[in-house]
Every structure is written in structure tokens, then in C-alpha cells.
Structure 1
């Protein structure tokens, strides 16, 4: 039983009919093989990783109405009121992909989320490297990828957390936002889930059909990445810091930062802050 008219539950049956390849009830052309919606869990990523340890979970989707221990990058927590967000995880197996290219999957997911939000919610979404989704410089969605297996075929769980109906006083941090606060054209979570999963499937299929070549994917990512051209501070593992201009995304998906000395550094992991001026920060 639900009582908040602004936050209805997801319609699991309708989502399965639209997205899951079920001979009798679903579209046989659909990409996904299983879709589950649970009322509450700690982490959809953790649940899918646990499931993958005992069964074949390729193209499984797990959504939660409330996620009590959601995680972002660097183990940061991500919590939202029930039914105010989209918390979903998918598992994708990439046969023939080299382990060194697995890092492109979360970037691909970022492109898919941006395109879905632009097309359906009609908000000017863009990417902050590596895969934060921003609207007006504020974070509306985050992505976390975790490796399930490396051999015989790489399999990765990709989690997406999207703020949908959160009010200003419900945001986890001042730098966050929601589709409601950005006056999105569509805030219906069923519609948004369908758009997100279809975009993700289409992008994955394009990459697969290109024999995992990243040329087209990298170009799409660069077009949507607001970090490129920005002055940034990169805090690297070990508390090493680089300040410079983000000039490129290299073939491994790393952010290339050009320092004041003209030396380029490829950043594979670290906190990136967009700088407004020498002593100020944007995000």
C-alpha cells in the first residue's frame, strides 16, 4: 500500500513486458533477460554481485524502491527517501572484451544516462568525468561499476542512482539536484527506467557490434563531458594533487590533465573538482 501520490511505486510487470525477453509476455527483441523490483535492500550492486557468484546473471536488472546502503565511488554512501529515486543495477557480460577495456563500461553508462535524460526528461544533462551526471552543474545521477568476474569472460555490475522527486531539503549534499528541482518534462519513474535501460542496451550493443572498439564511444563521451576544457583539481590516490586544464579523454578512458608546466598527466582514478578561479570551486 502506498500513500504518497507524488511517489507511486514502480510497475514491475509493465517494465518486464517492455524490457525483458520473455517468449510469452515480453518483447522477444528485448535486450534484458530478467528484471526484479524489490521494496528495500542495502545495495542493488551488492545483491547482483552476490547473485552472480552462484548463477548466470547476464543482462539481469535489479531495482529497489529504497536502498539503505547505496554506495558511490570511493565507498561514499548514497541514500534517498523511498520511491524518490531510481536505484538500479545491471549485470553485463562482455565476451571477447579485454580486461584493460572494462573501464569503458561505466563511461558508456554515463553517456546512456545523459542521452536518456536529454531525450525524455528534457533536461540539459552532461557528464563530469568519469561518470557523474550533472544538470546546471549539480549532480542528478551517479554511476558505480564493480567487477563480478574477469574470466573466462569479463562481467561487470553497473549501478545507477538517479534523483527524481527529491525536494531541496531532502538532497544528500548542497551540490546535488533532482529532476523535480530541474523542472524535468517527465518525472514518471517507469518511463525513466524504460528510457535508461533502452539507452544502455543500445550503447552496449553498438560497442559490441564494433568488436569493442572504443573510437565511437570515446567520441560520444567527449561530446557530453563538461570536464573537458575546464580548469580542474585532481586529487589522486596517495593525496597527490594536480591542478591544470582537462584536455582529453585517452584511449583507456583516463582524463588527461595539462599542468601549468605543460606536462600532461593521465588520471585513471581520483576526485576531480571543477575550478572557477585560482581559489574558487564549481563542483
Structure 2
């Protein structure tokens, strides 16, 4: 019996019964260090593909640049998916975090009626506050790479439980729906739909780029990009290129922390 009626546990059996046929396997665990780390290890020791792992709590969740975060039990969707992307150009892998961001934004909009959007590359924001983080890691490189897609969506976290003041949760944002079973099902369907269409298009990013531009609040904004190594770029975010890199006054940025600056 769970103690918090606002945070019921996920039912793996029910999720499997309604699982999109794109996926081969789904598992829910009570606690783990990192769902991404677990599936990275599994990718190197098996031929698992289209495998979903969800944790009710994470003690060593990972974000970009090796940032660590902890999820309170049953307050988030902490989920990773192991995929083997056959025939994809390695340079196109830079689009996978962006594709995942599109799927999360559409899930939040459709299920909760909240106007979420993306900050490049894949932070999901509501009113400028971070609702969801996404981390994509390559398990085995090569022409048919194995990759792990990790999603951490804040669902019922209170202000006191937020990892940083700039974060938010669905409940704090006034979501109409905060049922995690509904959110997981919808998110897996959206992700499967995007990935299936992308593969069917022979990994072309033309349609994806158009969808991403429609959902990305960074484009057109004046931004500051803090790059690995300490360099800083300030300018207008004009577009994303064919590899998903952000173009700031004509300069392509593939990694870094981007801050939206207030208009002067």
C-alpha cells in the first residue's frame, strides 16, 4: 500500500498491456541509480532493442555535462529507452535528442493542455521554467548504433522538492492531468510515431527540422551560449542546421549551456 494518494505507483502489467507495438519490452523498478546507466550496461551485454526501463525513484540520475539529480519516489516519469538505429548516418544522431524533445512537448500539450516548448537543444520549458530534461547516450557506435534515450519529466514535485528554483512540475504549472500511467503511455506513443516516421524517411531531417522549429522558443531569441572549454558566444539564435546544431549569428554550436537573454 502506498502512502501518498497523489503519487500512485505505476503498474508494469497495465503498461505492457497497452504498450505500443513499436516496443519489445517494458520494465518498472522501484529504485535504481540511473535508468540510462542500466540500459547502457544492458546494450553492451545483450542484443536488446526497443526496451523501456522506468524507475519509480532514481538516486544517481544523469543530465547533460554529467550533472547528477535525484528523483523523489513516484513524483516523476524517470524513463529510458534502448534503441538500435539501423542504417542511420552517425552525424544524424545529433537529431535524436531533438526528436525526443518534440515527442515530450507534444505529449505535455496534448495530455495536460499546458503550452510547453523547447529550449535548444532539448530542455522542455513551461513559462521559462524547466519541466523535463533529456539525455541521449551512445552505447555502441558504428553504422547501426545502440543508443539510450533518457527522459526525466517532473510530474507532482512541490516547490520544495524541485532540484533548482528554475525548474517546475506539471502540478505546479496547473496541468489538467498528472496521472503518470497516462503520461507514460502517451509519451511512448509519441516517441514511437516520431521514430517510425524518421526511419521511414531514411533518416531525413527535413520534416523533423520543421517540427522542431515550430516548438523551439530559442530560435529568434538573443542568447548566450557557454561552450565546453570556457568560450562564450552571444547573439541571435537564427536556426538549427542539418545536424541539429544551433546557429548563433552564423556560428554552429553543437554543445553548451544556452541562456535566453532579455531583449534590450
Greater displacement, 145-154 / 63-72: 145-154
Once the two structures are superposed, what CA deviation does each residue of 1:181-229 show, in whole Å capped at 9, x if it has no partner? 0110110000000000000000000100100000000110011000001
Query: Equivalents in 1 of 2:104, 2:3: separation in Å?
Result: 29
Q: Could you list the runs of 4 or more consecutive aligned residues of structure 1 that deviate by over 6 angstroms after TM superposition?
A: none
Post-superposition offset of 1:153: 0.9
User: Structure 2 unaligned runs (5+)?
Assistant: none
Correspondences of 1:77-226 after superposition (within 5 Å): 77-226=68-217
Post-superposition offset of 1:151: 2.6
Query: Equivalents in 2 of 1:97, 1:76: separation in Å?
Result: 28
CA RMSD of aligned residues (A): 0.9
Query: Equivalents in 1 of 2:71, 2:195: separation in Å?
Result: 28
In the alignment of these two chains, the number of paired residues is 264
| Alignment correspondent of 1:266 | 252
Once the two structures are superposed, what CA deviation does each residue of 1:77-109 show, in whole Å capped at 9, x if it has no partner? 121210000100001111110111111111100
Post-superposition offset of 1:54: 1.0
Query: Equivalents in 2 of 1:63, 1:57: separation in Å?
Result: 16
Query: TM-score with structure 2 length normalisation?
Result: 0.98
Query: TM-score with structure 1 length normalisation?
Result: 0.92
Post-superposition offset of 1:152: 4.8
Once the two structures are superposed, what CA deviation does each residue of 1:33-62 show, in whole Å capped at 9, x if it has no partner? 000000000000000010111111210000
| Alignment correspondent of 1:4 | 4
Query: Equivalents in 2 of 1:222, 1:139: separation in Å?
Result: 19
User: Structure 1 unaligned runs (5+)?
Assistant: 21-29, 259-263, 279-283
Post-superposition offset of 1:3: 1.0
Query: Equivalents in 2 of 1:108, 1:225: separation in Å?
Result: 12
Post-superposition offset of 1:122: 1.0
8 Å CA contact 2:105–2:118 kept in 1: the answer is yes
